[in-house]
Structures are given as C-alpha cells and as structure tokens.
Chain A
Amino acid sequence: MGRKLLTENINVPGIQSLDVYRHHGGYEGLKKALGMSPDAIVEEVKKSGLRGRGGAGFPTGMKWSFLAKPDGVPRHLVCNADESEPGTFKDRYMMEHIPHLLIEGMAIGSFALGANTSYIYIRGELLYVYHILQKAIDEAYAAGLLGKNIMGSGFDFDLHLHSGAGAYICGEETALIESLEGNRGNPRIKPPFPAIQGLWQRPTVVNNVESIMAVVPILKMGGDEYAKIGIGKSTGTKLISACGHINKPGVYEIELGLPVEEFIYSDEYCGGIRNGKALKAVVAGGSSVPVLPKELILKLANGEPRLMSYESLSDGGFVTGTMLGSGGFIVMDEDTSVVKNLYTFTRFYHHESCGQCSPCREGTGWMEKILHKILDGHGTLEDVDLLWDIQSKIEGKTICPLGEAAAWPVASAIRHFRSEFEEYVKNPSSIKKDNHYYRVNNISSEVA
C-alpha cells in the first residue's frame, strides 16, 4: 500500500468545504510557510526533488529559483489547470473533490515567489469545476486566508480564477499567458522565457495543478522526508489517470517507482485487463507520448521490469521507451486497433493546432487525411512511409511542443505496429466499420 499525500482525505465527506478541510489539517501547511522565509520554502521544494507534474518533468524548485526578481516589478504565479491531454483527468478530479488543497498550494507558492497576485487558468470545458473552485476561493477570502494580510502575516495575496475557452493549445504555458492577457492563445516564441518575461511582461512561474498541490505535503512533512518517497530522481507520489480496457479505471496516487506490471494487474490499482483479455499496448503519459507494446511497457530492453518513474519509462529513448508525461495511462487490450486509435489522436491534434507555424498547421491535417485514407481502405505502403516522413519533418521544427505531441504518437505507432498498418493496406476489405472506432476487425461490440 503506497503512501497517499494528496488523496489522503479525498473521500472525507464535505472535504470541499473550508471547515471540513481545516478540520483535517487544511491550511496548516500555509500557516507553517508564512512563518518561514520565502527562500527557505524554495529551498524546501528543491530538497524534495519535486518535478513538474504537467508532463515535462522539470524540477519545480529549480523553476522557482530561476524566477527573475527585478526591483519594483510584480511577479506572478499561474496555475495551469487547462488539463486537456486525452487520457489525463487527474487535475479535474482533484480540483473537483479537494479545491482548497490547490488554493493552499497557490498561497504557499505565491508567498515563496513573492507574488501578490496569482491566477488559476482553468480549462473552459470544466465549467462545473470552475464553480466549485470559485466557491472555495470565496470561502477562503471570507476566512481571511486570501486577500489583505492573510492569516495575520502581513502578506497580501489575491487569487483570480480564469476560465479558458476550449483550446488545448492554451495548456502550453506561453499560450496560456497570452490567453490570460486577453489575446489569441498562440504560443510565444521563446526566449524570453516566462521566468523573465511572462504575464504582462513580468516574471512569471507557470505550474501544473498537481505540482502546486504537492507543495502542501512537502511543507508539512519537510522536503527531505518527501524525497525519501519514490525512486532515484523521481521523488514523491504521482497521480495517474488510468483508463482504457482495465477493470478499475480512475485516478490513482502511486509512489513513483511502482512496477508497471503491478500497476496494471494489482487489485489495488487498475485490477487487470477487463473481460479476461490480454494486454496489447499502453500509452503511458497522455496521448502525446509514444505508445509501447506489451513487451516493452512491462520490461525494459534489458529485461528488467519497467517502473512508473520518469527515468524508467523513458529508458531506451524513443526506440524502446516512452515518457511519464502527465500520467494519462491508457491501456489497450488485444482487440484494440492501434491504427484506428492513432487516427483518433491525430484528428485531435489537427483540430487543436493553433495554426501559427507551418509544420504543425499543415502537417497535422495531412497526417489525419492519410490515416483516414488508410482506414477507408485506399491506403498504400507508400502512405505509411509518407506518414513517417511527415512526422519526422514536424518534430522539432515548431514553435511549441504541440508539433512533437502530434508527431510522437505517429512515429511510435509505425515503429512498433508497422505490421498492423500493412495489414490495413493489404487487406482493405477486412476493415469493418462498427461503432467501436478503436476496435480491430471482426470484433463485435458485445465485449463492451
């Protein structure tokens, strides 16, 4: 049984309300933080080894220490709650069930960074969560936990909640900043990085919801203690949104370093593949990371078991590895069609490309059309090679990582499941169009 730091009290009835939250130790972390110096908090986060939970895995303490601090210029902390990666739903779950944890984390983070005004940018589709969070913020204001002189510490702190308008691209930090400023949500060209010139050209830190929440237990238990959880440079706990053909889909908090096999098959977590089917492939960190076949997701190339950690999942680079990403764990059983699944992903990236730079704007649509052609039974073997060539020409040529996010699933699907593409090309008559758009041929829908 792994330790639960973020989800410990999540099932307490009424934890959404301030009273219940405080009754269970809420805002103790903030109280402790306000008694410390801001630099000491940053130091504590550095010691904890916490890495960004949004996908890139950049050390949070280091990000905080990079923040420029020119005199007389306000600084900002922005929480990236624009969680829209297909397969990832951990932030929504947390904000919906325990909103005060995020508010407490925002207050601690802002105090550590010297930011008097901070923002939570929430995904537009999560309107009901917006209302839950706004209610929690109002409660916190009324209790003096936000606003002027919070908890009598002399620190003024305003927290604003801002809703996006339904664009995946606004999860990219500079696009998020543009959107928050009221502009079209196009990613900015870096440098300058947000730590130097972010929101309104002021130094800004953008952190994922889970990273900010994790600061609360780090403060309560101490950075050193937090760093003892996990394995190697992957410290602490991680929320994994498990979905797909498993018996128990949902959000799980794991200690990093848990074997992938245990995560999929143990009853404590996913509970194995549903309907007694066999595992085929896993997308381990949200739709943009490479898909891995069963042999490679359970075992490293050298035969050792693969663990749920930043290092172990990316072992072997993209040839035999993948990424922890945002923790969107999509499990596919033996009846799943990787090609149909890839078409769904590619259609998503085509739809969400902002259209600012040419490789992503044109390339994503082209890939979708070719995949559609293959699934329609008109594909040729050259089309598969062309897909590979297009993805290689998008990757690394774009302004923001959406280009890579669109290219990696295509690359990995062709790398590991090329025979499946060839089967579609060679036997187009066998492609059946049923309601299960991600299912392989000849599988009736009764298994669902």
Chain B
Amino acid sequence: MPKVTIDGQSIEVSEGTTILQAARMIGGDIVPPAMCYYSTLKTSGGYCRTCIVKVTKGSEKDPRPMPKPVASCRTTVMDGMEVQNTTAPDLLEARKGVVEFLLLNHPLDCPVCDQAGECDLQNLSYQHGLAKSRYEFKRREFEKIDIGENIKLHMTRCILCYRCVKVADQVCDSRAHGVINRGDVAEISTYIEKSLDSDFSGNVIDVCPVGALTDRTFRFKSRVWFTNPMNAHRNCTKCSGKTVLWTSGDDVLRVSARKDVYGEVEEWICNECRFEKKEKSDWTIEGPRHIDRKSVISANHYEVKKQLKIDVSNQKAIDESAHNN
C-alpha cells in the first residue's frame, strides 16, 4: 500500500487514492479546501484549483518534486510521496490567488443570498481570502432563470464548479443540463432553458457550493442560522428518505439531504421528499442534526455551544489589513 506524507503526517492508503482523500483520512487542518470536487460524483474536481498542493517528493522511485502545484483532488498518491499544504507559504499564497479569482466576479450579495451561512465560498474566503478586493471593474451579471418549478438558477453567483452538471449527468436520467459559451461568460444552462425534469434534479441544489442554485420553496423564507436542523426520515419508494428538516417552530421551511463534514451529500434524495413533504406529520423526526462544519450555522447552533475551529491568528491578520486599508 502506498504511503504518503502530508504536512509531516504519514498515512498508508490503498492504490488509486487521491491526495485529497488521503488528507481527509488524516483529517484536521491539513485537509485542502475543495470547491468543485465531490467524492460521489465521477470525474468531478480539478476545476476550481483551490485544493492545489505542493508535491515536494514525487515517489520513492522517482523522488523529483513536481514542477507545478497539483490539484490534490485529481492526483493519485504514489508510494513515498511527500506533500506540503499548510506548511508551504508559497502554496498558501498561490491558493490566496485562486480564492481571489473565484471571488473576482462573484457578487458579494451575501446579505440577500439564501446560501449565506452554509456557503462554501463564504467560508473559503473567510479563511483564505483577502480583506479587500483588488478588482475595480464591473462584475459580470446574468439574468436569473427558473429551471423548473422548484429550482432557481442565479448564474451571477456561479463559480463554474461543474458539480450540478455531473449530478445531471450521473444522478438524473437524462442529460439536459450543461455549460454553454466559454471563458468568463460561460454559463450553466439547460437545453433552451427547459426545466430539469427528473426525480433527482433537486440534488443540484445540495451540491452547489454557492447560492447559484437555490430551492424556490425556501427562497427568502429564513436565514439558515435561524432554523433548527432535524434529522428525519420517511418511507420513500424513490430514495432512502433520510433527510434533514430545517424547521422553525412547527413549520418545515426546507428539506435537504444529509451532508457530511466536507459538505458532501451522504445519500441523494428525491424531489418528492425535498419539495412536497413540508409538514412535520410527513416525517419521523429522529432528533437534532449535528453539524460539524466550519460554518455560520454551527456558530449559532442551538444544540451545544462549541468552539469554532477557525484559526484566530488568521482572523487577526485579516482585521489588521482591513484596518490598514
């Protein structure tokens, strides 16, 4: 079994494991952030470049370092490979650059965005981004599109991670959703703006790392951190029926799939569970959902008060640079 060392911590993993997966097996702060990679979607990853790492030793056989930073989500480990993530200042600088590019055309409309609080890009920019944008030109804008009755596509916020394209390809039964145009005007779209017609199309909302694809039944109802997430299940003929209900009092504001610590859906759920079962009586409630993510939702969590895993020293630096600017 290949042995890989990431930031000084070694682990033996099976053949074909990627550097990112190996890092997740070790866990903790050495895990590179990933915006486009999704372990359950084939051929995902490699696009956003936030997970880049520095390979200082290729393998035992060929110890040469790799000339450029590599996307850890798509690079498989070799025996004896040595990888630097948080221990390489030049790499962190490069990642800062990638985060800046991702934010370049992203509208900073977090105050009115439904994704705020559970947005991967928000968390990423909090940890790795600059305090101030150096971009002074008009950001690109797109019209909002309804793809179907339940899904809103707000392309302006999209970072083109291709996750929803992979979902439409691999989870839904027909391929009706893809990317049109190219470069910085490339956009996610469905064929002639048709609706995404599949029992599992709602999953594109869960995989979206930003607020580009949102649930029309939940839009502008509540901030996520004011809701109580509850694990629930029901007997469903199409999917596992295991979901999270985002409740407020007796109201079920939103139903979503269960996500793990890296924000990845554990089991895909069907549209009936997601959009139609909005009564508590539809569900068997298991109890509060424990959310262990670096996210605003856990900050205001009603369940337990817990220490956030955010590096305070970094925050201090951000504050200071904001102050100096």
A-to-B contact residues, CB < 8 Å: 167, 169, 184, 189, 350-359, 361-366, 369, 386, 389, 392-393, 396-399
Contact = CB atoms under 8 A, between A and B. Distances in A.
B182 interface: yes
Contacts of A352: 182-183
Contacts of A357: 46-49
B305 interface: no
- In the complex, which of the residues B101, B160, B179 has the most CB atoms of chain A within 10 Å of its own CB atom? B101
- In the complex, which of the residues A169, A350, A355, A399 has the most CB atoms of chain B within 10 Å of its own CB atom? A355
Contact of B183 (A365, A389, A393, A398): A365
A358 B98 CA distance: 7
Contacts of B104: 362, 366
B49 A398 contact: yes
B49 A358 contact: yes
B49 A397 contact: yes
Contact of A184 (B47, B94, B179, B184): B179
Given A366-B104, A369-B137, A396-B69, A355 B183 contact: yes
A365 B71 contact: no
A139 B68 CA distance: 47
A354 B184 CA distance: 8
- In the complex, which of the residues B48, B52, B159, B182 has the most CB atoms of chain A within 10 Å of its own CB atom? B182
Given A358-B160, A366-B104, A397 B182 contact: no
Given A362-B102, A397-B52, 19 more contacts: A167-B182, A189-B71, A189-B74, A352-B182, A353-B182, A354-B182, A356-B160, A356-B162, A359-B49, A361-B101, A361-B160, A362-B184, A364-B183, A364-B184, A365-B183, A366-B104, A366-B137, A386-B134, A399-B47
6 contacts: A351-B183, A353-B183, A355-B186, A362-B102, A364-B184, A392-B97
Nearest to A353: B183
A297 B68 CA distance: 28
A372 to B, nearest CB: 9
Contact of B48 (A351, A358, A369): A358
Interface in B61-120: 67-69, 71, 74, 94, 97-98, 100-102, 104-105
Interface string B171-204: 0000000110111111000000000000000000
Contact of A358 (B68, B102, B181, B182): B102
Contacts of B134: 386
B135 interface: yes
Contacts of B105: 362
Interface of B: 45-49, 52, 67-69, 71, 74, 94, 97-98, 100-102, 104-105, 134-135, 137, 159-160, 162, 178-179, 181-186
6 residue pairs, one from A and one from B, having the closest CB atoms: A393-B97, A355-B186, A396-B68, A189-B46, A362-B101, A353-B183
A358 B178 contact: no
A396 B95 CA distance: 12
Majority SS of interface residues in chain A?
helix
Contacts of B135: 366
A186 B52 CA distance: 20
Nearest to A386: B134
Contacts of B45: 189
A369 B100 CA distance: 16
A381 B68 CA distance: 30
B142 to A, nearest CB: 13
B102 A354 contact: no
A166 to B, nearest CB: 11
Nearest to A398: B49
- In the complex, which of the residues A358, A363, A369 has the most CB atoms of chain B within 10 Å of its own CB atom? A358
Contact of A399 (B46, B69, B182): B46
A360 B48 CA distance: 10
Given A350-B184, A361-B183, A399-B46, A355 B160 contact: yes
Contacts of B52: 397
A393 B47 contact: no
Contacts of A369: 137
Contacts of B162: 356
B47 A358 contact: yes
Nearest to B102: A358
Contacts of B49: 357-359, 397-398
A184 B178 contact: yes
B121 to A, nearest CB: 11
B125 to A, nearest CB: 13
Contacts of B186: 354-355, 361
Nearest to B137: A369
A169 B135 CA distance: 26
B289 to A, nearest CB: 31
A359 B184 CA distance: 10
A222 B134 CA distance: 58
Contacts of B159: 358
